[in-house]
Structure 1
């Protein structure tokens, strides 16, 4: 899928650093030459320059817009802008949110073949792919945790069902990138598999309490909710490149029930016998969901790609409203 091609290109350049350096060292050993780093070697400075220009295709941006996703720009980790008024206070507020925990597994295997700088470029680029696609679909990066991320979707004046759909779409696209595009790149370099595990849960207005955790500059605006905790636990039950979601995510997304399968290892991620509350967790079939999307095309081989998004052509009536009477060269007469 070409959606993450810019990220994949950076990762492939980083993977090639080792081969270029190895070849250069072999040449120096046999010729007795010594000199500066090979001009073909991808440097950290190259990476810093490239990552500032990372973007997604106009087609993917158009899909996010059509789905009604509103990106949260200029984010400050740990300080969701919809609840920033709680900063520096002891106030609390109840409001729904979707919590998503994304863990990238197997990246420590990179240390078997690559130095720390190469490892940083690779893992950081994978993280950036997750960060940027989540932000595009309205996600807020609450925390970076090692190789993984903790992300919120939803907020004030954001429809609950749409926010849930945005979350599943963003993380489905990211999962495809890791499972397919990155897998091929890593296999070419003999690297053991790197995969993702994701847990997502929805907490409604009466089940999520927002407040400040910590103090002063060592603080963040956090949620205190069973469902934030459960999202982290669900991640542990996810298999390789799987997304596990709670019952409330299934209810809010309004997707076909055929996209969900009960987690066989432990159906109930939480149970409260005294209150007869048994909360089910499901594996979400993100690939089947993506393939069913009107915005996605599937090849004979099963690979997916984003369909070109046709721009909306304004009507004659709307053009008349914009142009008004100031159209000396217009050949169309408005009636």
Structure 2
């Protein structure tokens, strides 16, 4: 999928670092998925320059826009902007949120073949792919945990169903990148599989308490909720490149029920016998979801691509409403 090609190219260059280092004196040129690679070691300076240019396709941004996403800009980790007024106080507030835990597995095996700088470039680039696609679809990066992420979706004046759909779309796109695009890169270099495991859950207004954790500069605005905790636990039940979601995510997303299957190892991720509460976890079929999207094209080999998106052109009537009577050319008879 060309959406993440820039990230894929950086990882390819990083993986070639060792081969190039071994053959510097032989002036050998290597060729990989990213194209010909000159016989010069890819440095941290190169990476920093490339990293600043990383982006996602305009077509993907157009899809997010069509889905009604309002991204959180200028994010400060641990300080969700809709709850920043809690900072420096002992106040609390109840408000729904979707919690997503993204873990990247197998990256430790990279230390068998590559040095610390190479590992940093690879891990950091995968993280940036996750961060950028989540942010594009309205996610807020709450915390970076090792080579994984903790992300919130939703907030004030954001529709609960839409937020859930945005969340699953972002995580599905990232999962496809790891399972397919990255797999080809790593296999070419004889690296053991690297995959992702994701857990997601929805906590409604009466089930999520926002407040400050920690103190002063060692603090963050956090959620205290069963469903934040369950999202982390669900991640542990996810298989290779799987997304596991809670019952409330399934209910809120309003997707085809056929996209979900009960987790066989443990149906109920949480049970409270005294209150007759049994909470089911499901594997979400993100690939089937992507292939069913009107924005996705599937090739005969099963690979997916983002369809070119045509910008929404506002009607003349809507333009007149925006312009008002302050422009003489707007004073026309509209039908």
Shorter-chain TM-score tier: over 0.9
Q: Which runs of 5+ in 1 are unaligned?
A: 28-37
Tell me, yes or no, if the aligned pair for 2:24 and 2:40 is still in contact at 8 Å.
Answer: no
Deviation at 1:319, TM superposition (A): 5.5
Q: Cα–Cα, structure 1 residues 117 and 25, in superposed 2: closer, same or farther, change >3 Å? A: farther
Q: What's the counterpart of residue 256 of structure 1?
A: 256
Tell me, yes or no, if the aligned pair for 2:183 and 2:193 is still in contact at 8 Å.
Answer: yes
Between the aligned partners of 2:135 and 2:239, the Cα distance in structure 1 is: 25
Q: Mapping of 1:260-299 within 5 angstroms?
A: 260-299=260-299
SS in structure 1 at match of 2:281: strand
Deviation at 1:326, TM superposition (A): 4.5
SS in structure 2 at match of 1:250: helix
SS in structure 2 at match of 1:270: strand
Between the aligned partners of 2:132 and 2:320, the Cα distance in structure 1 is: 38
Name which of structure 1's ranges 9-18 and 179-188 shifts more when overlaid on structure 2: 9-18
Q: Mapping of 1:19-30 within 5 angstroms?
A: 19-24=19-24
Deviation at 1:313, TM superposition (A): 2.8
Deviation at 1:257, TM superposition (A): 0.3
Deviation at 1:312, TM superposition (A): 2.1
Q: Cα–Cα, structure 1 residues 49 and 255, in superposed 2: closer, same or farther, change >3 Å? A: same
Q: CA RMSD in A?
A: 1.9
SS in structure 2 at match of 1:294: coil
Between the aligned partners of 2:116 and 2:333, the Cα distance in structure 1 is: 66
Instruction: From the CA coordinates, give the structure whose radius of gyration is larger.
Output: 1
Q: Given the two structures, how large is their TM-score scaled by the length of structure 2?
A: 0.92
Q: Given the two structures, how large is their TM-score scaled by the length of structure 1?
A: 0.92
Deviation at 1:318, TM superposition (A): 4.7
Between the aligned partners of 2:196 and 2:137, the Cα distance in structure 1 is: 19
Q: Mapping of 1:34-73 within 5 angstroms?
A: 40-73=40-73
Between the aligned partners of 1:261 and 1:220, the Cα distance in structure 2 is: 35
Between the aligned partners of 1:179 and 1:268, the Cα distance in structure 2 is: 27
Deviation at 1:315, TM superposition (A): 3.1
The answer to whether structure 1 residue 165 and structure 2 residue 176 are counterparts is: no
Q: What's the counterpart of residue 155 of structure 2?
A: 155
Between the aligned partners of 1:78 and 1:241, the Cα distance in structure 2 is: 26
Deviation at 1:41, TM superposition (A): 1.7
Q: What's the counterpart of residue 30 of structure 2?
A: none
Q: Cα–Cα, structure 1 residues 160 and 316, in superposed 2: closer, same or farther, change >3 Å? A: closer
SS in structure 1 at match of 2:23: helix
Between the aligned partners of 2:110 and 2:55, the Cα distance in structure 1 is: 25
SS in structure 1 at match of 2:169: helix
Q: Mapping of 1:1-335 within 5 angstroms?
A: 1-24=1-24, 40-318=40-318, 322=323, 324-326=327-329
Q: What's the counterpart of residue 33 of structure 2?
A: none
Q: Which runs of 5+ in 2 are unaligned?
A: 28-37
Between the aligned partners of 1:136 and 1:159, the Cα distance in structure 2 is: 16
SS in structure 1 at match of 2:13: helix
Between the aligned partners of 1:206 and 1:42, the Cα distance in structure 2 is: 51
Deviation at 1:325, TM superposition (A): 3.6
Between the aligned partners of 1:250 and 1:315, the Cα distance in structure 2 is: 36
Q: Cα–Cα, structure 1 residues 305 and 277, in superposed 2: closer, same or farther, change >3 Å? A: same
Deviations 1:296-315 (A, max 9, x none): 00000000000000122343
Between the aligned partners of 2:333 and 2:229, the Cα distance in structure 1 is: 62
Deviation at 1:324, TM superposition (A): 4.7
Deviations 1:131-181 (A, max 9, x none): 000000000000000010000000000000000000000000000000000
Between the aligned partners of 1:334 and 1:228, the Cα distance in structure 2 is: 52
